[in-house]
Amino acid sequence: MQSKTLDELNNLTKQEFLSFVEPAFERTPDVSIYAYDQTIGSGTKITSADHLSSVMWTFIDNYMSEQEKHKMVSSHPELQSKKRREQESSGQLSADSMVEHKKAGLDVSSLTKDQLDRFDNYNEQYRERFGFPFIVCVRYVPDKALGLLEAFEKRINNSKEQEFEMAVEELKKIGQARIRDRITE
């Protein structure tokens, strides 16, 4: 997606804004609607990518119910798993997600069979234990594939509450990184 300047962003119609911003929080349009209504829609200019992210976080933290947060977390794609590979081949993954995973070295051609098997196993264990996918902002994980496998190993022993809170925080990081990609300041 082509980036926009703050000036361009602040002059978008509501529909243009939603189309531009919504992919930052996959399958969670209410976050973008709230952001528009609290900024451009009310006459307040967006002053930076982080300002927009902060408005979106306010909605997630203060206005989304636990059920809505759970839906947001559950709709996010898994890290390199059989299910994810099926979603990718059928065109169900967002362009952002595919690019992020490729940059993180999570495309099938970059991983060994052992690593693919470990990702499949960890994803299955994680979803069974917690009821939602393992979520991490892959941009900030050192050693990419190996770092992600280590993160699975460390987090699998957390409580469901800890992991749910962590998943929401990681989604906020993902959203902020995507917003920063979309806006040139």
DSSP designation for 10: H
Helices 49-62 and 29-38 pack at an angle, to 10 degrees, of: 120
H/E element, 183: strand 183-184
Q: Which CATH class is domain 73-182?
A: mainly alpha
* Per-residue confidence (pLDDT) for residue 88, from 0 to 100: 78
- Three-state SS string over 62-131 comes to HCCCHHHHHHHHHCCCCCCCHHHHHHHHCCCCCHHHHHHHHHCCCCHHHCCHHHHHHHHHHHHHHHHHHC
- Please report, for the chain, the start and end positions of each structural domain, with discontinuous segments joined by +: 4-71, 73-182
* Per-residue confidence (pLDDT) for residue 118, from 0 to 100: 94
* Per-residue confidence (pLDDT) for residue 134, from 0 to 100: 96
Alpha carbons 11 and 39: distance in angstroms, whole number? 11
Q: Consecutive sets of 10 residues in the chain, 185 residues long: mean pLDDT of each?
A: 94 97 90 97 98 97 97 89 80 84 84 92 95 94 90 96 97 96 94
* Per-residue confidence (pLDDT) for residue 104, from 0 to 100: 85
Question: Residues of 165-177 as b/e, b for ≥16 C-beta within 10 angstroms?
Answer: ebbbebbbbbbbb
Q: Which two tokens stand for residue 176?
A: 């902020």
* Per-residue confidence (pLDDT) for residue 83, from 0 to 100: 81
The answer to whether residues 99 and 26 touch, using CB atoms and an 8 Å cutoff, is: no
* Per-residue confidence (pLDDT) for residue 164, from 0 to 100: 98
Q: Any long-range contacts for 98-102 (C-beta under 8 Å, 24+ apart)? A: 100/138, 100/139, 100/174, 101/138
* Per-residue confidence (pLDDT) for residue 17, from 0 to 100: 97
The answer to whether residues 180 and 9 touch, using CB atoms and an 8 Å cutoff, is: no
